[in-house]
Amino acid sequence: MPVFLSSVFFVLAFAATAECVFPMPLATGVLKSLPALYLTGVALAYTRPRFRWWVVAGIVCGAMGDYSLSSAERTWFMAGLGSFLVGHVAYSIAFAKDLRLTAARGVLIFAVLLGMALLVAATCFRVVRQGEAGLALPIIVYVSIMSVMMTIAVLHRSSTWFIAAGAVIFVISDAHIAINYMLLEHSRLGLAISGYATYYAAQYFLVAGAAHETRAALALRRAEMPH
């Protein structure tokens, strides 16, 4: 991804993250979703048709999730959860090609899945104790789909590590939400900030990885053309 476009994204992501410290109630949802919407245009311009529309779908769903989760209402929370779930399905389809298992990738996947399983168990136990047992099944379904996405992204053979990193960081970002808003008695500003920072980093790496693959594929095609 060109440096200028990356710089614009990081400015937008910084502004959206800073909203945690300097709230703007009338513009919160729009501001939170702007970085992902921006990446939609980048993906359209810099990723190859092989997975362009699936990557775009993943980002658009992320933007919809950002907007939904900017509200404290539970109904909006479920809408945001659903949007991100569909986004993970789209990313899974985009990168479910050229998969390869190695020892290092296997260890990484196992470690992340183990951490996710422990966090899901603790979260479900907490919501049931709080009388919100209805949230347990959606959480389990969502995390299961995200686990598939992360596994596929790590196994995906790529010319860059960005895609695998984006998927793992996405898991870390969602872990912030579970800890900050479901496990702790009171949410912490520091966790909210780091949660948004890791989320925007995850989306950036996924799109930047797709763009890098596109550039590498084009360079290889040119090299193979007869002179």
d(CA 187, CA 177): 9
> What's the pTM value of the predicted model, to 2 decimals?
0.90
Residue 130 in tokens:
């709080």
Residue where the block lists tokens 């410290």: 21
d(CA 39, CA 85): 18
| Residue 155: pLDDT over 80 | yes
Please tell me the predicted confidence (pLDDT) of residue 3.
85
Please tell me the predicted confidence (pLDDT) of residue 25.
65
Please tell me the predicted confidence (pLDDT) of residue 101.
94
Percentage of the chain with pLDDT > 90?
56
CA neighbor of 32 nearest in space, from 76, 62, 77: 62
Please tell me the predicted confidence (pLDDT) of residue 219.
65
Question: Could you read off the pLDDT of 168-218 as tens digits, one per residue?
Answer: 999 999 999 889 888 888 888 888 899 999 999 999 999 999 999 888 766
- Residues whose CB falls within 8 Å of the CB of residue 119, separated by 6 or more in sequence, listed in order: 175, 178, 179
The string of DSSP codes covering 186-203 is S--HHHHHHHHHHHHHHH
Please tell me the predicted confidence (pLDDT) of residue 187.
81
Domain span including residue 159:
3-224
As to burial, measured by CB atoms within 10 angstroms (0-12 exposed, 13-18 middle, 19+ buried), residue 121 is exposed
Whole-number average pLDDT of the chain: 88
Question: Could you read off the pLDDT of 40-65 as tens digits, one per residue?
Answer: 999 999 887 778 899 999 999 998 88
Q: How many domains does the chain have?
A: 1
Note whether 21 and 193 are within 8 A (CB). Answer: yes
Report residue 76's pLDDT band, with 50, 70 and 90 as the boundaries. low
d(CA 35, CA 11): 9
- Residues whose CB falls within 8 Å of the CB of residue 185, separated by 6 or more in sequence, listed in order: none
| Residue 224: pLDDT over 80 | no
Q: Half-sphere exposure (CA, 13 Å, Cβ side) for 208?
A: 22
| Residue 221: pLDDT over 70 | no
